[in-house]
């Protein structure tokens, strides 16, 4: 594991961030700008993206804003073309764009399931397909960060599409890590495992129909993010510090993982039937 100060390691580098205009993505962008990185910000929300990009430019950052639908391979390919046309290289890819849906697994509409799979998994795959070949051709030191969640280790009721996609992110990222090791590529892969971060993701993920259990669970998660969550900026600061240390597992809030991962592993090893635990 190599270790460097983020400001020394990342200054002047080019970062592509998907889902960049709000929540965790905006925290990544602000932190990257504070480190002197040049930014390519991608989001499907055009007005919000352009406003945020202009805010960062006013603060002195070099920013290219690209309206992108990460679920569309052609749109992500166009993002890569814009990034290379503007800066000539990409040093860091942060796959982050994602959405949430809540409810009973069998009642969440098919179109919501499809959207989460296309965005939360397909969007990451599209990012890798568009950028990894270009980064390999560069042959320079690079970084790929993929945002999973503690929900990628601990499945949850009433948000199974999210659990499915965050588990999938773990598998995709670890496979990518092995593949780049096989190629001896100078690209570090990191999987980011947030716990609760202050954002409107739960407010935006209105539970389908009038299911009171899902709405109550949604409200509890939103309240937890507001009271116990860290800010997107603090999350990003911790992420960049750990990435600069050379970490694969990036855990900005390790407490929940540390408390739960051993009991979960023991449950699996002992073939113990899972028990419901909604402790927040």
pLDDT digits (tens, 9 = 90+) for 231-240: 999 999 999 9
Share of the chain above pLDDT 70, in %: 88
Residue ranges covered by each domain of the chain: 6-255
For CA atoms 8, 56, 73, 95, the dihedral sign is: positive
pLDDT digits (tens, 9 = 90+) for 130-168: 999 999 999 999 999 999 999 999 999 999 999 999 999
Residue 270 has pLDDT above 90, yes or no: yes
What's residue 206's pLDDT? 54
Residue 2 has pLDDT above 90, yes or no: no
What's residue 207's pLDDT? 46
What's residue 224's pLDDT? 61
Q: Helix, strand or coil for residue 212?
A: helix
Measured in whole angstroms, how far is the alpha carbon of residue 17 from the centre of its chain? 9
Phi, then psi, of 215 in degrees rounded to 5: -65, -40
What's residue 225's pLDDT? 59
The active-site residue, picked from 28, 84, 124, 162, is 162
* C-alpha distances in Å from residue 194, one per residue of 115, 140, 147: 22, 28, 8
Residue located via tokens 């992500």: 76
What's residue 11's pLDDT? 97
* CATH, domain range 6-255: 3.40.50.720
CA–CA distance, 171 with 32 (Å, rounded to integer): 26
What's residue 145's pLDDT? 98
Q: What is the mean predicted confidence (pLDDT) over 34-56?
A: 98
Number of Cβ within 10 Å of residue 124's Cβ equals 28
Residue 200 has pLDDT above 80, yes or no: no
| Size (the chain), residues | 280
Measured in whole angstroms, how far is the alpha carbon of residue 9 from the centre of its chain? 21
Q: Can 162 be counted among the known catalytic residues?
A: yes
H-type helices in the chain, by residue range?
Answer: 6-10, 23-34, 46-58, 73-87, 110-116, 122-138, 160-182, 201-204, 212-227, 232-244, 254-269
Residue 182 has pLDDT above 90, yes or no: yes
pLDDT band at 1 (very low <50, low <70, confident <90, very high): very low
């Amino acid at each position: 594991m190599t270790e460097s100060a983020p400001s020394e390691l990342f200054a002047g580098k080019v970062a592509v961030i998907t889902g960049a205009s709000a929540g965790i993505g905006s925290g990544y962008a602000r932190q990257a700008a504070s480190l002197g990185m040049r930014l390519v910000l991608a989001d499907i929300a055009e007005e919000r993206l352009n406003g945020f990009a202009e805010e960062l430019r006013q603060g002195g950052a070099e920013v290219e804003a690209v309206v992108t639908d990460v679920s569309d391979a052609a749109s992500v390919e166009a993002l890569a073309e814009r990034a290379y046309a503007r800066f000539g290289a990409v040093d860091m890819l942060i796959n982050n764009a994602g959405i949430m849906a809540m409810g009973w697994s069998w009642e969440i509409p098919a179109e919501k399931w499809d959207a989460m799979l296309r965005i939360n998994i397909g969007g990451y795959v599209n990012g890798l397909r568009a950028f990894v070949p270009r980064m390999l051709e560069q042959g320079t030191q690079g970084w790929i960060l993929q945002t999973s969640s503690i929900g990628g280790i601990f499945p949850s009721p009433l948000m199974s599409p999210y659990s499915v996609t965050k588990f999938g992110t773990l598998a995709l990222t670890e496979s990518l890590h092995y593949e780049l090791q096989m190629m001896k590529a100078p690209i570090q892969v990191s999987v980011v495992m947030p716990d609760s971060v202050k954002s409107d993701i739960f407010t935006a993920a209105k539970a389908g129909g009038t299911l009171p259990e899902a709405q109550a669970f949604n409200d509890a998660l939103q309240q937890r993010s507001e009271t116990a969550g860290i800010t997107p900026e603090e999350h990003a600061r911790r992420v960049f510090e750990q990435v600069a240390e050379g970490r694969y597992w990036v855990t900005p809030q390790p407490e929940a993982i540390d408390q739960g991962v051993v009991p979960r592993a023991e449950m699996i090893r002992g073939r113990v039937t899972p028990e419901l635990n909604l402790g927040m």
